[in-house]
């Protein structure tokens, strides 16, 4: 248990149905005169959707803006360069991201290269940023990555297909907005994938070497909320209560991993996402049980606790038997929301595993994994996830 730690999150976090209406006034309070709204074209087109409501509130408060709608899923370096160009041409002074993790990370990436130099690949790693980003607010529309709260910017280099992370306290948005009413229209498959991402982000920090008492309680609460609400949110996206619980869970998990870090699931999922341009939440869910089963021997007590949090009665079981139950719970949740049973589903090829394993061990998330693996261990884990969960 980490007894000396810092705890980072945005200084203001708006949560609940209808909070998006507050963004105009908040922009004014922050002296944002012309924010660049960083989003996707498909989100801009949604009638009375997240972008429309953000703009309405900005207009009402008399705040000028420009819109950059060129974010691709798994945002690429070309996206952040195009966004930077527009920021400069439009003489913007701040950034508002509207969307899921892709929009937030793209907005952070734009901010990073505006103030820290054009070559973002040189900034991959932990605390590499010398200068602050322009003021940034994040309007979140998936539940979710937690990126609206975190110090991580995950960017894909389209040239070598490498997905890398810039981790810095300077990336944390000043203000986050989580309004479940903006999420009612999220398609079923995206709800499942992003919900599984939140699930993994509640599990990895719980068994991370960097966990602390605050992140532990956040993980516990997030796991229980996800178990209650994710299947219902997938089955009936218009259920406001289920969406609201998923937003609570994704915020808790986001804060937890922002401070306790993640592990091999994320380190390995980034390689799948970069190589095959697959949805991040699906990549995480496809690796979850394989990686955590491998991790069991590093901290069986923590996994046994996870089983109890998931509702298993572990009376009379050995610690290892109880720990194994948590893997059953993970498998059950991923299956219930339609995650496939092999990484073949996203086009994974065994000949790519050696390079992906090498890069996974360099990913910033690998260092907090509870069990220390070799390159061959990671290749074996990819192979196991390929053979079928
Ligand atoms: P996403 O942002 O790529 O969005 C997925 C799809 O959902 C898109 O097509 C988008 O248009 C659609 N969508 C989003 N909101 C919608 C809405 N309200 N209504 C209808 N459609 C909507 O997916 P994501 O899972 O949120 O983000 C994934 C990215 O975030 C990955 O690149 C991943 O690596 C990164 N990530 C970042 C962090 C971090 O802390 N920075 C953490 C985890 C993941």
SS3 track for the chain:
CCCCCCCCCCCEEEECCCHHHHHHHHHHHCCCCCEEEECEHHHHCCCCCHHHHHHHHHHHCCCCCEEECECCCCCEHHHHHHHHHHHHHCCCCEEEEEECHHHHHHHHHHHHHHHHCCCHHHHCEECCCCCCCCCEEEEECCCCCCHHHCCEEEEEECCCCEEEEEECHHHCCCEEEECHHHHCCCCHHHHHHHHHHHHHHHHHHHHCCCCCHHHHHHHHHHHHHHHHHHHHHHHCCCCHHHHHHHHHHHHHHHHHHHHHCCCHHHHHHHHHHHHHCCCHHHHHHHHHHHHHHHHHHHCHHHHHHHHHHCCCCCCCCCHHHHHHHHHHHHHHHHHHCCCCCCHHHHCCCHHHHHHHHHHHHHCCCHHHCCCCCCHHHHHHHHHHHHHCC
* Ligand 1 in reach of 101 Cβ (< 6 A): yes
Q: Reply yes or no on whether the pLDDT at 347 is more than 80.
A: yes
Report the interhelical angle of 319-336 vs 213-235 (nearest 10°).
40
Mean pLDDT on 227-253: 98
Rounded distance from Cα 215 to ligand 1 centre (Å):
23
Mean pLDDT on 164-174: 97
Span 260-296, pLDDT tens digits: 999 999 999 999 999 999 999 999 999 999 999 999 9
Here the tokens at position 171 are 């990336």
Mean pLDDT on 83-101: 98
* Ligand 1 in reach of 280 Cβ (< 6 A): yes
CA atoms 375, 380, 385, 386: torsion sign: positive
Angle (CA) 130-135-138 rounded to 5° is 115
Computed on alpha carbons and rounded to an integer, the radius of gyration of the chain in Å comes to 20
Domains for the chain: give ranges and CATH numbers. Answer: 12-183 (3.40.50.1970), 188-387 (1.20.1090.10)
Q: Reply yes or no on whether the pLDDT at 189 is more than 80.
A: yes
pLDDT given for residue 193 in this prediction:
98
The residue whose C-alpha atom lies closest to atom 40 belonging to ligand 1 is 147
pLDDT given for residue 2 in this prediction:
62
Closest CA to 341 of 278, 375, 310, 384: 384
Q: Reply yes or no on whether the pLDDT at 389 is more than 70.
A: no
Using CB atoms within 10 Å of the CB of residue 78, give its burial: 0 to 12 exposed, 13 to 18 middle, 19+ buried.
middle
* Ligand 1 in reach of 178 Cβ (< 6 A): no
The reported pTM is 0.97
* Ligand 1 in reach of 39 Cβ (< 6 A): no
Q: Which residues contact 96 (CB under 8 A, 6 or more apart)?
A: 23, 27, 32, 35, 36, 37, 38, 54, 58, 65, 107, 136, 137, 138, 139
* Ligand 1 in reach of 105 Cβ (< 6 A): yes
ipTM value greater than 0.90:
yes
Asked which of 1-15, 29-43, 134-148, 181-195 is least confident by mean pLDDT, the reply is 1-15
pLDDT given for residue 1 in this prediction:
64
Question: What is the percent of the chain with per-residue pLDDT over 90, rounded to a whole number?
Answer: 97
The residue whose C-alpha atom lies closest to atom 31 belonging to ligand 1 is 74
Q: Reply yes or no on whether the pLDDT at 55 is more than 80.
A: yes
Mean pLDDT on 179-184: 98
Closest CA to 9 of 254, 274, 319: 254
Rounded distance from Cα 72 to ligand 1 centre (Å):
10
Calculate the CA dihedral of residues 115, 117, 119, 125 and round it to 10 degrees: -70
Rounded distance from Cα 43 to ligand 1 centre (Å):
11
* Ligand 1 in reach of 373 Cβ (< 6 A): no
* Ligand 1 in reach of 40 Cβ (< 6 A): yes
Q: Reply yes or no on whether the pLDDT at 3 is more than 90.
A: no
Mean pLDDT on 324-328: 98
Mean pLDDT on 100-123: 98
Rounded distance from Cα 41 to ligand 1 centre (Å):
13
Rounded distance from Cα 145 to ligand 1 centre (Å):
7
Here the tokens at position 385 are 């996830």
CB 112 within 8 A of CB 133: yes
* Ligand 1 in reach of 162 Cβ (< 6 A): no
* Ligand 1 in reach of 173 Cβ (< 6 A): no
The residue whose C-alpha atom lies closest to atom 19 belonging to ligand 1 is 186
Q: How far apart are CA 140 and CA 149, in angstroms?
A: 9
* Ligand 1 in reach of 179 Cβ (< 6 A): no
| pLDDT tier for residue 4 given thresholds of 50, 70 and 90 | confident
Here the tokens at position 372 are 């220390």
Q: Reply yes or no on whether the pLDDT at 5 is more than 90.
A: no
Rounded distance from Cα 201 to ligand 1 centre (Å):
14
Rounded distance from Cα 108 to ligand 1 centre (Å):
14
Mean pLDDT on 320-337: 98
Mean pLDDT on 7-28: 97
Q: Which of 188, 280, 284 to mutate to test the pocket of ligand 1 (most atoms within 8 A of CB)?
A: 280
Q: Reply yes or no on whether the pLDDT at 359 is more than 70.
A: yes
């Amino acid at each position: 248990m980490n007894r000396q730690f810092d705890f980072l999150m945005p200084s203001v976090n708006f949560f609940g149905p209808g909070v998006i209406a507050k963004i105009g006034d908040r922009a004014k309070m922050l002296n944002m005169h012309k924010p660049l709204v960083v989003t996707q074209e498909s989100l801009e087109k949604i009638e009375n959707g997240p972008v429309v409501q953000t703009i309405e509130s900005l207009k009402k408060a008399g705040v000028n803006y420009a819109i950059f709608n060129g974010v691709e899923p798994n945002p690429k370096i070309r996206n952040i360069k195009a966004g930077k160009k527009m920021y400069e041409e439009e003489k913007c002074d701040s950034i508002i991201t509207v969307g899921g993790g892709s929009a937030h990370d793209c907005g952070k990436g734009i901010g990073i290269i505006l103030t820290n130099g054009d070559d973002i690949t040189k900034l991959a790693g932990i605390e590499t940023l010398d200068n602050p980003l322009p003021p940034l607010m994040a309007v979140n529309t998936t539940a979710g990555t937690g990126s609206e709260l975190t110090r991580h910017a995950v960017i894909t280099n389209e040239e070598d297909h490498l997905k890398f992370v810039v981790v810095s306290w300077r990336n944390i948005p000043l203000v986050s907005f989580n309004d479940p009413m903006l999420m009612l229209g999220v398609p079923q498959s995206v709800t499942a994938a992003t919900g599984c991402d939140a699930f993994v982000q509640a599990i990895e920090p719980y068994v991370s070497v960097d966990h602390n008492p605050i992140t532990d309680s956040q993980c516990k609460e997030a796991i229980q909320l996800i178990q209650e609400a994710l299947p219902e949110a997938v089955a009936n996206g218009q259920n406001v209560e289920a969406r609201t619980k998923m937003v609570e869970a994704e915020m808790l998990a986001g804060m937890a991993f922002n401070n306790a870090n993640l592990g091999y699931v994320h380190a390995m999922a980034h390689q799948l996402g970069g190589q095959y341009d697959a949805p991040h939440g699906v990549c995480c869910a496809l690796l979850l049980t394989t990686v955590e089963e491998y991790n069991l021997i590093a901290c069986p007590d923590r996994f046994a606790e996870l089983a109890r949090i998931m509702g298993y009665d572990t009376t009379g079981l050995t610690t290892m038997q109880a720990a194994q139950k948590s893997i059953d719970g993970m498998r059950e949740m991923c299956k219930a929301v339609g995650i496939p049973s092999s990484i073949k589903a996203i086009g994974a090829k065994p000949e790519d595993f050696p390079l992906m394993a090498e890069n996974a061990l360099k990913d910033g998330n690998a260092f907090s994994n509870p069990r220390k693996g070799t390159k061959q261990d990671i290749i074996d884990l990819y192979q196991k996830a390929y053979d079928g969960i």
